[in-house]
Structure formats: structure tokens, C-alpha cells
Amino acid sequence: ANQARVASLQDNINRPTRTISYPKRADGKPVYTSEFFGENVFSLHQIAKALPKPAYASFLKQMRGRQALDKATADAIAHAVRIWAMDRGATHFTHWFQPQTGSTAEKHDAFLTLKSNFTSNGEEVTAIDAFSGSQLLQAEPDASSFPSGGMRTTFEARGYTVWDTTSPMFIQEGPHGTSVLYIPSVFISYNGDALDEKTVLLRSTSAIAKSCSELLNLIDPVPVGAQPKVSHVYTTLGTEQEYFLIDRSLYSLRPDLKHTGRTLIGNLPPKHQQMDDHYFGRVPSKVMATMSEAELELFRLGVPIKTRHNEVAPQQFECAPIFEEASLAVDHNLLTMDVLSKVAHKNKLKVLFHEKPFKGVNGSGKHCNWSMSTDRGENLLDPTVKPETNYRFLLVLVSVLHAVQQHGGLMRASIASSSNEHRLGACEAPPMIVSVFLGEHLTEVLNSIEEGRPIKNFSVPEIQTIKFGGTALDVKVASLPSISRDLTDRNRTSPFAFTGNKFEFRAVGSKQSPAFPVTILNAAVASSLQDVTAALREQMGDKPYPSDADKVAVIKKFIASTKAVRFEGDGYSDAWIVEAEKRGLPNIKTSPEAFEQLLNPLHSDMLTKLGIFTASELQSRHLILQERYAKDLLVEATTLSTLLASQVLPAVFEYRSSLAQAISLLKGIDAEDATPELSALRALTPVVKELQAAVDNLNSAVHKMHEVGDDPVAEAKYACAHVQPAMTEARAVADKLEVLTADKYYPIPHYSELLWF
Ligand code: ADP
Ligand code: MG
């Protein structure tokens, strides 16, 4: 292997695993996780302590109504949070927000302020620490460098970040024992347009809360004049985060990983994931060190990370939190990604969130487990023991089916990106067609209702436990306890699957913020709940509330109308593609096409009617997505072309010249002696020429993309149709050369080194 690769492999081998000290008591015993969980969060409890009772009551009201805070309350909170944060080393504060870049943004300001006193001796300047209510509530970062999709022209580039009181403030530790106070915020324009992911997410959670409460209060009526039984409905979200962790020094030798997050060339090693020996295997110690250090920080930040394990591909891992209210869960997922990156860096590792960092092995997703819950904590997607007569559950269930039926295309758009494009439809990733998997039991429940017959085969107590040791053959396991079984089996191939008491949106990419897909899902279901409520009202006529028969009639109606989106079979199979087309389900293959769904009146009318997006917000988002796609591809193409021209080809030339030298030396002895080297050289020649041609072709595709003009939509389309294939073609040739070139000359780490370090 070449010197840089050898040096970095040696460095990796000789490097001790980093150790940190987990919190300990004075007597040396460990502090329990539950005791330091959330210690870096300024909780509601602390706000309560800081405010007089009536002020706290009004804060709660404002928080739930999502109104602006009054100045006196804001000042009191600002003061309390500054003291709390400064006592924990904070020197700065920042509004922390989510522009449409796929990541978070922050700009730090010191608490330090100068105060002038004018006395008879002239001006006296004193340094003080201060943080006012208005600084807490609002900041004005220069918005002109964030994507706006043409919504802001530069002369009105103002944007505001405003504290989102539904998400608590927290501190993050920095270097030298200092820290920074983070204020979760929304980001809006001078005119109040959403420039970020959070604003629309909050709008969507309000919309679904409203539609869902209306349905629940209609089917579960309260006496006239009494308070509605359900006053609020939350969407709940648990994000399973998949990622790769690789050695950082090897990573730094791969310009493609550095600039694009994925490898643009490279062959699989002979052994990769075929043996299924990585999934749930023992976590490698360097990785474990990173995971648990990240968890320690996340626990302090109040992020309830619950699960960690090896994933299917070599060097692929997953973590998952306990689910929370959706917008908090989104913040927590973004924090998780942030903390993982930071801690991996300290451990000399690099975390890759890209959906497909390595061709040929599994990519990474972010399964978004989603449900709705009432303010009394009842999960609305809990089928309970007898789903067939649980009409509330069934009405909510058919609402979700109806949402996918109506807006599956929009859901597809919400998970589209240049990076997810490489994952979807390949290597155990869900296909591009959005369908719903319900499992055998619920399918039978719906079929029996549709056919008006009793439900068969599902005596629930039996299917809910699996008994060990019932038969003579099982004697050995008779000591194991009986275990309970979920109401659903699993189908890994479905993009949107019912898993026990929630839906799992699995097509979501590992790199993207869950905010947009969850916003779209919330919106689609909010609208669908309205349709179901309207159908119920129509069915019940002038009765004050619907009878069970009315409910069944409506459930039946929606079962019938949503049949096309239900699919229990193998979503990876070619037969499904044919079948889906027969059913009229959209099969949107490329991202630029998917983004167009945002402007399709079928979806855009729904989004604007619910007040989740304005028409101009949608137009701008559409442009931002197209533009990002085009830019992603441009960066990839130029990275690849440079890598091939400046590293791969020169390395092959060097190898060729060493062969040529050997040939001329050997010929001096006997022409026959030179034939093996000669044939190695001759095998290379046509492939080298092919690669040169492929690089030229790639460069000309990039060049032509610039000529398309200043139109993001046309650029994205062009990139998808011409730049992407030119890259694929160049890669195929480069991968042939990787095998033909002596390892010693090959300039960048192979997959075999990156994936097995
Ligand atoms: P699996 O890999 O088996 O799908 P995990 O335990 O990795 O399961 O992840 C399941 C995720 O679903 C967890 O984050 C969990 O908190 C979340 N979850 C469970 N119930 C709900 C619910 N009602 N709403 C939203 N998310 C939920
Ligand atoms: Mg899962």
C-alpha cells in the first residue's frame, strides 16, 4: 500500500481507545443516568422557579397558544437563564435554528456588555454581563446567505430568529471549560414567511392537533356546555438514526468522502455484509467509546437515547431515542447528529450520515416512528386487544391510509435528495413507491369490516403470547418464560409500515432533518382527518353524534377507497413495480421529478388550505430543493473529475512506467522474459484510455450544465439526466483500474481499509 495509507493505518492501530470519566459520586460509586439526565437543560421546572406564580401561569398559556411573550416575563426568564448558564461556564448565547440547508445554524454573542457612566470626570466604562428579554426572544441574523429560493431579494434580506418556547434552552460545553447557551428558535423573514424547517413543522403539529381533536370530540361526545374531552393532540416521533463510523485519518485521504459524504469510486472487498455477521454483533471498542461518550453528553442534554447496536453493513451502526413530542424529537435528532459528529472527531473517527457512503452495501436511513397521542397520553394508534371494534383506532387508521392514498407523491417528495436517491430501491432500502404495510392481523381486521363478516383466526390472547416448551421436543426451553408478541409482523421492504402501535416512515434519509417529512406527514393526515370527519358528519345526518353503525359505514368507505396503497408483499421485487403501476400509484424515480410534487395543486392546495405553507413558501422551497440537488451533483462531479485526473490517472501512469522499465530491462535479457509485464501493461492501456474519455465526458457534462442558465429546475433536470450518468460511467471504469493497478501505487484507501479498520 502507498505510504500515506500505511501511515494512517499504523496510526489507527497504535492509537489507544480514548477514555473519559463517567460521573462518579464522592465515594467513587457511579452516579445513575437518571440523576444527571437533563442537567444541561433549562427546564420548565427552572422557569417555574424563576418566575412569580402568575407570571409562570401566563408563560404556560403563551407557550401552549404559541403567542409572543410579554416583556416583563421575558426579562425575568432571561435573567434566570443567564445566571443558570453562567454558573455552568456559559460565556455566550445563541439562537439555534434550522435553515433549509439540512443542518442547524448558530451565531454566538457574548453576555459581556459595556456600560457607560457619564460623571463629572467624563465617561466611565464598566464591563458587565447582561442578557435581556428581548435578546432572548428575538435576534436578527443577516439572512442573505441562507437559502430563500428567491423569496427575499437582497435589499430586504432581513430575517428574524424567534425563541420557540416549546423547546427548552440548553447549554453545550465548549473548550476550556466554557459553554454556550442555546436558544431553540424559528427563522422567519421580515414578512413573516417561514425560512426554516421548524416554523412549518410547528404549523403542521397545530393543524393535526386541531383536526384530530375535532374528530375525537365528535365520536366521543361531551355534554353540551362541558369542556371538550380532548383538548390537545400531539404527534409523537422516535427517530432511529443509522450512520457509519470510519477512521478519520483514512477518511482524510479520500477527497470524495470529505467533499460529498460518499465514496465516488471503489470496489467492494470480497467480504462485506454477505455473512450477516455485523448486524447486532459486538460493538467494536473504539465505536463503543464513541457511542457512550456521545450518550453521556446527550443524556445531559435531555435526549433520551435508548438503543444502540451494529447495523447490517460493516462499520454501520444505529441509535434510537425514546419517542417524544415531534418538534422536540426533531431538535433532539439534530442534536444527536451534532454530538455524534463532535465526539467521533475527538475519538479520531468520522461519522458518515450520508444515505449511501459505500456502493454495494446497505445505506443508512432514519426510520421515523410516528403516532398521535392525546393530552392524556393515550396513543391513538394503539390497536388495543380488539381493534375490530375500536372505532376510534380504526377511524384514525383509515385517516392515515387516506393520507397516503391522497398524498403519497408528496411524501415521496419529502424524502427526495441527491443522496437518498442512491439508497432508495437498492440494498434493503424501501422502494420509491409509497405504500402502506399493515401486517396480517390488521389486514384481516380491515378485510372483515369491508366484507361485513366476522373476523377470523385471531383469537388475540393466543397470538399475543408465544409459548415455549409446549411439546416434547421443546423440553429444553421449557424454562424460558412465555413472551408477548406484537400485533404485527415485520416487513422491511415497506416505505411506510405499521409496527405495533405506530407507523414507521422508513424511506426518510439518514442525513436529512426529520422535520420536513414529518411536516408533510402531519399535514397529509391533518387534511385526511378532516375528510373523515366530514364523511362522518354526512353519514350521521342531524343526529348529535355518530352511532357505531355510522362509524363502521365511514370506516368501510375509506377502507374501500384506500385499497391501492396497501401492500403486504415484497416491496423490493420487480413484480411490485408492475403491480403498483396497475394500481395507479406514482413511481417517481428521480428527485427533480419528486420536487415537482410540491407545486402539484393536488398537494399544494392542501398545504395552503391548512395554513402550513403559503403559496410563495412552497415555490421557494421547491426552488431551494432543486437548487440543492443541482449543486450536490455539481460538487460530486467536480470532485470525481479532479480525483480521477489528479490522483487516480497519475498513479496508474506511475505503475505503467514501472512496468515499462521492467519490460525494457527484461527484454535486455530475453524478449520472452518480458511477456508477463507486457501483458499487464497491455491490459491497462485500453482501460486508461477509457477513463480519460470518461473524464472528458464528465467535464463536458459539467460544462454544459453551466450553460443551461440560471434556472435551478433546468439545472437539476440536466444534472440528473446527464451529469449523474457520466459519473456512473466514469466510476465503472475507475473501479476496473483499481483492480488492475498495483496496490502500492493506488493513492486513496480502498473499501477494504475503510470498512474494516
Ligand atoms: P425497531 O428497530 O424494532 O423498529 P427501535 O426500538 O429501534 O425499534 O425503535 C423504535 C422507535 O419507535 C423508538 O424510537 C421508539 O421510542 C419509537 N416509538 C415507540 N412508540 C412510539 C409512538 N407511539 N410514537 C412514536 N414513536 C414511537
Ligand atoms: Mg425500526
pLDDT tens digits along 33-61: 999 999 999 999 999 988 889 888 888 88
- The ipTM is 0.96
Q: Look over the chain and give the mean of its residue pLDDT values, rounded to a whole number.
A: 90
Question: What's the average model confidence in pLDDT over 416-439?
Answer: 87
CATH code 3.30.590.10 region(s) in the chain: 204-439+488-613
333 lines ligand 1 (CB under 6 A): no
Q: Is the pLDDT of residue 174 over 90?
A: no
Mean pLDDT is lowest, of 113-127, 297-311, 456-470, for 456-470
pLDDT the model gives residue 484: 54
Residue by residue, DSSP assigns 297-314 as HHHHTT--EEEEEE-SST
pLDDT the model gives residue 462: 47
To test the pocket of ligand 1, the residue of 235, 237, 239, 240 to mutate (highest count of ligand atoms within 8 Å of its CB) is: 240
Question: Which cell is 656 given?
Answer: 505503467
Ligand nearest to the CA of 382: 1
Closest CA to ligand 1's atom 19 = 323
Mean pLDDT is lowest, of 189-193, 212-216, 241-245, 365-369, for 189-193
236 lines ligand 1 (CB under 6 A): yes
414 lines ligand 1 (CB under 6 A): no
Ligand nearest to the CA of 365: 2
Per DSSP, the chain holds a count of helices (H) and strands (E) of: 26, 20
240 lines ligand 1 (CB under 6 A): yes
674 lines ligand 1 (CB under 6 A): no
Q: Is the pLDDT of residue 257 over 70?
A: yes
Mean pLDDT is lowest, of 245-259, 479-493, 571-585, 727-741, for 479-493
Burial of 577 (0-12, 13-18, 19+ CB in 10 A): middle
Structure confidence at residue 472 as a pLDDT band (50, 70, 90): very low
371 lines ligand 1 (CB under 6 A): yes
More reliable by pLDDT, 531 or 454: 531
Cα angle 10-14-18, degrees, rounded to a multiple of 5 = 130
| Tens-digit pLDDT profile for residues 279-335 | 778 888 889 999 999 999 999 999 999 999 988 899 999 999 999 999 999 999 999
379 lines ligand 1 (CB under 6 A): yes
Question: Which cell is 280 given?
Answer: 447486532
501 lines ligand 1 (CB under 6 A): yes
Structure confidence at residue 153 as a pLDDT band (50, 70, 90): low
Closest CA to ligand 1's atom 1 = 240
pLDDT the model gives residue 13: 84
Mean pLDDT is lowest, of 133-147, 511-525, 666-680, 711-725, for 133-147
320 lines ligand 1 (CB under 6 A): yes
- The closest alpha carbon to 338, from 145, 182, 537, belongs to 182
- Ligand 1: atom nearest CA of 371 is 24
Structure confidence at residue 68 as a pLDDT band (50, 70, 90): low
In 435-564, which ranges are continuous DSSP H helix? 440-451, 460-464, 515-540, 548-561
Closest CA to ligand 1's atom 17 = 238
Q: Rounded to an integer, what distance in angstroms lies between the CA atom of residue 136 and that of residue 79?
A: 10
pLDDT the model gives residue 463: 47
**Ion ligand 2 residues within 5 Å by Cβ:** 367
Ligand 2: centre distance to CA 683 (Å): 47
pLDDT the model gives residue 9: 84
204 lines ligand 1 (CB under 6 A): no
- Ligand 1: atom nearest CA of 369 is 26
| Tens-digit pLDDT profile for residues 570-601 | 888 889 999 999 999 999 999 999 999 999 99
pLDDT the model gives residue 124: 87
363 lines ligand 1 (CB under 6 A): no
- Ligand 1: atom nearest CA of 381 is 23
Q: Is the pLDDT of residue 154 over 50?
A: no
Structure confidence at residue 122 as a pLDDT band (50, 70, 90): confident
CATH code 1.20.120.1560 region(s) in the chain: 628-755
pLDDT the model gives residue 98: 95
pLDDT the model gives residue 413: 97
Mean pLDDT is lowest, of 251-265, 339-353, 416-430, 583-597, for 416-430
Question: Which cell is 696 given?
Answer: 472528458
CATH code for the domain defined by 204-439+488-613: 3.30.590.10
750 lines ligand 1 (CB under 6 A): no
pLDDT the model gives residue 157: 67
514 lines ligand 1 (CB under 6 A): no
497 lines ligand 1 (CB under 6 A): no
Give percent above pLDDT 90 in the chain.
Answer: 73
Structure confidence at residue 181 as a pLDDT band (50, 70, 90): very high
Closest CA to ligand 1's atom 14 = 238
CATH code 3.10.20.70 region(s) in the chain: 32-196
pLDDT the model gives residue 497: 95
Ligand 2: centre distance to CA 269 (Å): 28
Question: Which cell is 565 given?
Answer: 396503497
More reliable by pLDDT, 258 or 224: 258
- The closest alpha carbon to 461, from 354, 386, 537, 350, belongs to 386
Q: Is the pLDDT of residue 504 over 70?
A: yes
Ligand nearest to the CA of 518: 1
Backbone angles phi, psi at 21, to 5 degrees: -95, 125
Residues 6+ apart with CB under 8 A from 9: 1, 250, 753, 757
491 lines ligand 1 (CB under 6 A): no
| Tens-digit pLDDT profile for residues 537-566 | 999 999 989 999 999 999 999 999 999 999
- The closest alpha carbon to 524, from 505, 550, 546, belongs to 505
Closest CA to ligand 1's atom 11 = 238
CATH code for the domain defined by 628-755: 1.20.120.1560
pLDDT the model gives residue 149: 75
Q: Rounded to an integer, what distance in angstroms lies between the CA atom of residue 221 and that of residue 243?
A: 47
More reliable by pLDDT, 489 or 507: 507
Q: Is the pLDDT of residue 364 over 70?
A: yes
323 lines ligand 1 (CB under 6 A): yes
- Ligand 1: atom nearest CA of 370 is 25
Q: Is the pLDDT of residue 226 over 90?
A: no
Ligand 1: centre distance to CA 245 (Å): 23
Ligand 1: centre distance to CA 324 (Å): 10
Cβ(241)–Cβ(355) below 8 Å: no
Ligand nearest to the CA of 502: 1
Ligand nearest to the CA of 237: 1
pLDDT the model gives residue 747: 93
pLDDT the model gives residue 407: 97
| Tens-digit pLDDT profile for residues 75-100 | 999 999 999 999 999 999 999 999 99
322 lines ligand 1 (CB under 6 A): yes
Ligand nearest to the CA of 369: 1
365 lines ligand 1 (CB under 6 A): no
Residues 6+ apart with CB under 8 A from 92: 108, 109, 110, 111, 178, 180, 181
Structure confidence at residue 358 as a pLDDT band (50, 70, 90): very high
Q: Which residue has the cell 408465544?
A: 466
pLDDT the model gives residue 475: 44
> What is the fold of 32-196?
Ubiquitin-like (UB roll) (3.10.20)
Ligand nearest to the CA of 503: 1
